Each structure stands twice: as C-alpha cells, then as structure tokens.
Structure 1
Amino acid sequence: MATKEETRAAREARLEELHGQLTGAVEGLVTGDDWARALSFAARFRSRSFNNTLLIWAQHEQAFEQGRVPDPYPTLVAGYRQWQALGRQVARGQAGYMIYAPVTARFASANPSDPMSWRRLAPREKRKAGEVERSRMVGVKPAYVWDVSQTDGTPIPEPPAPTLLEGQAPEGLWDGLATQVKAAGFELTQVPDAASIVGTNGLTDYMAKTVSVRSDMPEAARVKTLAHELAHVLLYGPNNPDAVRHRGVAEVEAESVALMVGAAHGMDTSGYTVPYVSGWAASVKDTSPVEVVKATGERVRKTALGILDRLDTMKVGDGTPPGLDKAATVDGPRRTASRKPPAPPVERERVGAGEPAAAGRRL
C-alpha cells in the first residue's frame, strides 16, 4: 500500500504531465484560424474550464489518431461513475482523458466582511456558534473523463439543436443580446451603414454609453456584431476594474466572445476573423504568451457563458450527457494575473470581422 508521500508524489507527477499537455495545446494556437477552431470547440464544452477543454480536445485527437475512438471530435464527456449512473460502462482498454479537478476546503469566520478573519476548518471540524461557513477552491488534482464513444450501454438521447440557413440568425438572439446591452445601461441604435460609425460594423462609446450596429448587413452578421459589442460593454469601460487591457487582447477577447455565443447557437463561425494569437499574446509585457492565452481563453469562456445563461434561446449541447447534474461537471477556474495598460474610451468592431465591406481594415 502506497504511503502518503508516494501518493502525493504520484499526484504531483500527474499534474506535471497535465501542465505539459496543456502547454503544448496552448502553444499550438498560433494563428487566428487555430484560435477560432478551438473556441468553436470550446463553445460545445462550455460547462468546462478552457484549460480542460483544450486537454480533452488534445487527448481525444490523440486517441483518434491511435484508432481508439471512431470520430475526430468528442461529443459528450463524463466521469467513470457518471457514465455508470446513466447506464453506460467504459469499454475495456479505453484510457480516460486526464483533466484538472478542483480541490475545495471549508472556511469559517465570525466576521465575514473581514478577509483576514477566515480560518480553514479541519476535515471533521464544525464551525463555532456565530460563525459563517463557506467552501473555497484551494487547489487542483488530476481527474479522468471519457467520451461517450468510449462507453457502451443505454443509448443517450439526442438533444434538440438549432438549424440555421446561411445568413440567418437564431430566433430571439438579437432581442436577447439587445436586452443585455440595455440592462448594462447602454442605449442601442442601428445606423444605416459603416460610414455612420467611422467605417466599422459596430461601435461602443463608453462616454456616451451607446452601442451602434450597422443595419445594412445580413441578419447573422448584425447579431454577431451585437455580441461583439456586448462583450466590450461587459469586459471594458473606464469604470471597470478589468478595463486596463492591452488593445490587441481586448479586440481578440470581444471577437472571441461573439464567436462562442454564435457557435453555441449553431452559427457558422468560418466568417470570424481573429488576429494571430502568437502576435498579440507575445506583446503583453511581463507575462508569457502561454499564460496570456490560458487566461484569455478562460475569461472569454466565462463572459460568453454569462451571456448565454441569460438568453432564452435554443442552443447546442455543452458536452454534458443528458440526465447528469451539470453542476457536478463544472471545473474550477484557474486564474492568471497580468499587468495590462489602459483601454481606449471607444471600442469598435472593424469592418471585415463579420461580412465583407468595401473599405476598412479587417479585425
């Protein structure tokens, strides 16, 4: 039987292996096309952290290349006992995909408003009279999940998914996004053409608290532009503590949020134009490109998830098998801090980020 030291060493080795796999996956996101493809995939596994999405993607791709799974992309992913609860069993010889799982601990305080007053409780310790108890994430550990194609048993029902024609927007998506813009305190206006908003598809003015979108674009392009501008509203602004972002990162994040919102509704993401990831990530001072990409990916996922949770629209699945408690599959986020210069007072979506226009630069 392994000692505590041996168990700890084995866990640390697996975490080091995970870190290496994740770093390799992130380093592979070197172009806008690679980034867009990864985000489109992440939109279909949005209940999991960005890091874990990349780990699942990379390991499933390896399993496909080795002939262990029939399809190049996973569809539904869950843990060993979760599949058993759904009447399915992991097939013999199928190795799971290693991901990060949160480690939580209980804390108690008699003065919750004082951050320094919280103390960690022992495993069986109870809080004292008058204390408040809360759980917090204190670390990560390795865990394993399997794709449905690696299991046998009771058939999994196929959830309904939106079907869109070319240029069509999902029903109710414009209204849902517009409601969120207005809820943030911004006035939404539709302008006749790009010339009305200095040659762009959309424009967010933080000082005037307005969002403008061109009305002379196809329906899908207008919705995508509105999602891009909503991302600017939620992520930036002079009064937002997170506003001090590198301009290149800010534009990539806004377009990436729009991409994930669209992909979650079954929209074609091939028209999204995102700059080379290696370029903007390398331009952030005092932080490695790998850490910038990981932090940005999780920031994008959380922002897109917040938007999607407030939308009463039909969406594609999120990678969780029907019948499972989704809260049990959500991974704890891993945050990365970075130093960031101030954002400008006006953010805009460049012409070319959605539908083609006669003039202007591409995003």
Structure 2
Amino acid sequence: MQSKSLQELSALIEDGLKKIIADGKFAEFLAFHSKFHKYSPMNSLLIFCACRHATMVAGLKQWNKLGRRVKKGEKAIMIFAPLIKKVIDIEVDCEAVSESERHVQLLQGFRAVCVYDVSQTEGKELPEEADICHDFGGETELLSKFISVFGYKYGVKHEPLEPDLGGFLTSDNTITLNANKSEEQRLKTLIHEVAHGELNHFKEKSKSRAVKELEAEITSFIVSGHFGVDSSCYSFGYLAGWSDGDISEVKEALTVAYDMANSIIAQLEAAMSLPKAS
C-alpha cells in the first residue's frame, strides 16, 4: 500500500475542512472530534473525512496486540504521528543522575502513519473502554462538579435574564447564568464562559470578537460532547456562521479550542476520580 506524504495529508486537511464548512458539516465534525479529543484536531479531521462512523482507531501492531486483525481489503486511515528523538541533556550534571535520566525527548517532525477503526477489524472482544463511555450522573451532577472545580476562580450566579441570553462573563471573573434556562443549557453556557476566561479573551486584543466566540464555542462543544451532553441545538447558531469563514482562522480556532478542551476535561476527570468526603 502506498503511503501518503505529509504534503498530501496537509492538502487533505485543507480541502476536507473547506468541504465540511461548505456542506454545513462543521458541527457534525466537532461532535465527532469530541469522541477523539486526545487526537489533534487535524488528525481528527483526517479520520472524520476517511471514516465518519469511526469510534476507536489504532495501528496494525496495536490491533494485533489486542487480539484483533484488520479485515482483508480494508483501506487504511492516514494520520500524522510525531517523530521523537532521544538526546543527552548536556546541561544536566552527569555525576548527579544516571545516563538514562539525562535523556530528553525532542520532537523532530512528523510522519504519515496508517491506522484502522475497530469496525475494520475482527477477532477478540475488546474490554469496555472508559474513554469512550462517560456516565457521570447527568447534567445536575456535572453542573455541580463544574462549579466546584472552577468556582475558586469564577464566581457563578444564577439570575433571571432576557430569554435569548444564556449567560455572560464579566471582567471580575463572575459568570452569570440565566436561571430561566434548563440545567443542560446552563451547563453548556458555563463551559463556554469558562473557556472565555481561561483563554484570557478579555485582555486578548489581537483576535476579533467572532474568533473569540468561535474558540469558546468549539471548546464548549467538545467538552459537552465528551461528557455525553448534546449541545448541538445551542451551538449550531454559532458554527453555521462560518460557512464563509476564513479557513486559516477556523484551523487556528480548532487548535486553540482543542488544547483548552483537553485542559478542562482533564481537570474535571481528575476531580471526579477523587473519593467523596465522608
């Protein structure tokens, strides 16, 4: 099988993103990416364009280790993989640490690799994956947990607001949520406003308001989807406006939102893994 070059993969990303936006599939892609939040958005995009029903991907060797084989005739999904080189850190005192401890890993670049979705394989049944199924008790528990995790930094208030307003963040790091909205929508709005705060949008002057809103909404969409909360009915209005958007801005917003979503998810999951106080 002939592998694609990095240039070809980059072109696929550019063309794929243009087509997704033009076809009004941007929100669908973000819902897909919420299942693959540990992958870069560009790799997620390559997987989405090649296999929209994908749920779990791995390389040939990894599938073999899990007791599964790729079905005959299945076409590989090409993604980027980092090239890591181990080097000796010359600034570390060699008398204080062993040689192995002096090794550091440096990113040398990227290469194209083949992966396959689980639906393209057959063999041994897989154990239930914690990263794929999330059951944290619904919106009520998740909203409470979100407030407890980020409450030290953001004061959260619930007040009646105008019907078309979900909530807002003020410069003193106070988030006001519309008490007339459902818990699900208040949760989604809370994630959106926390993303604004964590991305320092109040002080960021180089980005337009539209780009800031896109970053916050993509973050909210990915985090909500990761925890099983469907926020599409709230997000489509934000995302549909990018059908004629600048592709470079969308790619940059995806990268920023990807990093922020992973940070928020990690903080929430760490808090959820802690034992409850007696």
Is TM more than 0.5 here?
yes
Specify the alignment match of 1:257 in structure 2.
219
Max Rg structure:
1
Conservation of the 8 A alpha-carbon contact between 1:32 and 1:274: no
Give the TM-score of the pair, scaled to structure 1. Answer: 0.65
Question: Percent same amino acid among aligned pairs?
Answer: 26
Change (3 A) 1:214 1:110: same
2:67 is aligned with 1:87: yes
- 1:186 corresponds to 2:166: no
Matched ranges for 1:106-255 at <5 A: 106-111=86-91, 132-159=102-129, 161=133, 169-183=138-152, 185-194=153-162, 200-206=165-171, 208-238=172-202, 244-255=206-217
| AA matched with 2:242 | V
Q: Is the 8 A contact 2:24 2:243 kept in 1?
A: no
Q: CA deviation at 1:157?
A: 3.5
**Post-superposition shift, 1:91?**
1.3
The structure whose residues are more often helix, as a share, is: 2
Is the partner of 1:103 in helix, strand or coil? strand
User: Counterparts of 2:9 and 2:45 in 1: how far apart (Å)?
Assistant: 11
Task: Give the letter for the 1:193 counterpart.
Answer: L
Structure 1 stretch 31-40 or stretch 248-257: which is displaced more?
A: 31-40
Q: Deviations over 1:58-78 (max 9, x none)?
A: 1125xxxxxxxxxxx111111
Which residue number in structure 2 is paired with residue 76 of structure 1? 56
- Please name the residue that 2:258 is paired with: 301
| 8 Å contact kept, 2:140–2:183 | no
CA spacing shift, 1:32–1:149, aligned 2, 3 Å: closer
The offset of 1:169, in angstroms, is 4.6
Distance 1:230 1:90, change over 3 A: same
Q: 2:177·2:190 contact (CA, 8 Å) conserved in 1?
A: yes
Letter in 2 for 1:98: M
The answer for the alignment partner of 1:51 in structure 2 is 42
| 8 Å CA contact retained: 1:181, 1:233 | no
What is the Cα deviation at residue 235 of structure 1? Answer: 0.8
- Tell me the matched-pair count: 262
Superposed displacement of residue 50, structure 1: 0.5
The Cα of 1:237 is off from its aligned counterpart by 4.0
Q: Does 1:311 align with 2:273?
A: no
- 130-139 vs 301-310, which moves further: 130-139
| Unmatched segments (≥5 aa) in structure 1 | 1-9, 62-72, 113-126, 283-288, 316-363
**Contact 1:176 1:312 (8 Å CA) reproduced:** no
Q: Which amino acid in 2 is paired with 1:230?
A: V
Secondary structure, in 3 states, of the residue corresponding to 1:138? strand
- Tell me the SS of whatever aligns to 1:266: coil
State the TM-score, normalizing by the size of structure 2: 0.83
Q: What is the CA–CA distance in structure 2 between the aligned matches of 1:32 and 1:192, rounded to whole Å? A: 37
Aligned residue in 2 for 1:354: none
Pair 257,231 (structure 1): closer, same or farther in 2 beyond 3 Å:
same
Displacement after TM superposition at 1:128 (Å): 5.4
Counterpart of 1:268?
230
**Contact 1:38–1:54 (CA under 8 A) maintained in structure 2:** yes
State the superposition RMSD in angstroms: 3.0
Q: Cα offset for 1:99?
A: 0.5
Displacement after TM superposition at 1:278 (Å):
4.3
Q: Secondary structure at the match of 2:5?
A: helix
The corresponding residue for 1:25 is: 16
Distance (whole Å) between structure 1 residues aligned to residue 37 and residue 176 of structure 2 = 28
Q: CA deviation at 1:104?
A: 1.4
- TM superposition shift of 1:250: 0.5
Secondary structure at 1:307 match in 2: helix
SS in 2 for 1:93: coil
The one-letter code sitting in structure 2 at the alignment partner of 1:102 is: P
Give SS of 1:81's match: helix
